[in-house]
Amino acid sequence: MVRAGKPSSTACGISPPDFARYLIEFPFGDIYARPGLDLRSREIATIAALTALGNAEPQLKVHIAAGLNVGLTQEEITEAIMQMAVYAGFPAALNGLFAARAVFAAH
C-alpha cells in the first residue's frame, strides 16, 4: 500500500512485520531509487512482468494504479499487457486485461 506517496508496511497487513518491511524497502528503497529509468518506465516494466507471471493479480492491480498515478495512459498499460500475449501466452494477457479493466473502472 502507498500512503502519502510512500509505501506503508503496516498497511500491507503482512506478518511478520520484518517481511513487510523487506517487501517495501528492497523494491522501493533500493531498486526503484536507482538511476537509469524514470517511474513511468519502471511501472510499465513491472506491469509487463507481473502480467507475464500470471499469478500476481493483487500486485498487478497495485502497479496498474501506480502506473496511472505516474502518468501512464490506459492505452499504454493495455498495450504493454497485450504485448505479453506473445511472450507469456494469451491466458496471462487476458487475466492482465481483466485486472486492468477493474483498476481503470475504479480509478
Domain boundaries, the chain: 1-34, 38-107
Whole-number pLDDT of residue 22? 85
Residue in this structure with the C-alpha cell 494469451, named with its chain if needed: 90
Tens digits of residue pLDDT in 28-85: 888 888 999 999 999 999 999 999 999 999 999 999 999 999 999 999 999 999 999 9
Mean pLDDT, residues 4-16: 56
Tens digits of residue pLDDT in 81-94: 999 999 999 999 99
Q: E-strand spans in 1-107?
A: 2-3, 6-7
User: Which homologous superfamily does the CATH classification assign to the domain defined by 38-107?
Assistant: AhpD-like (1.20.1290.10)
pLDDT higher for 1 or 20?
A: 20
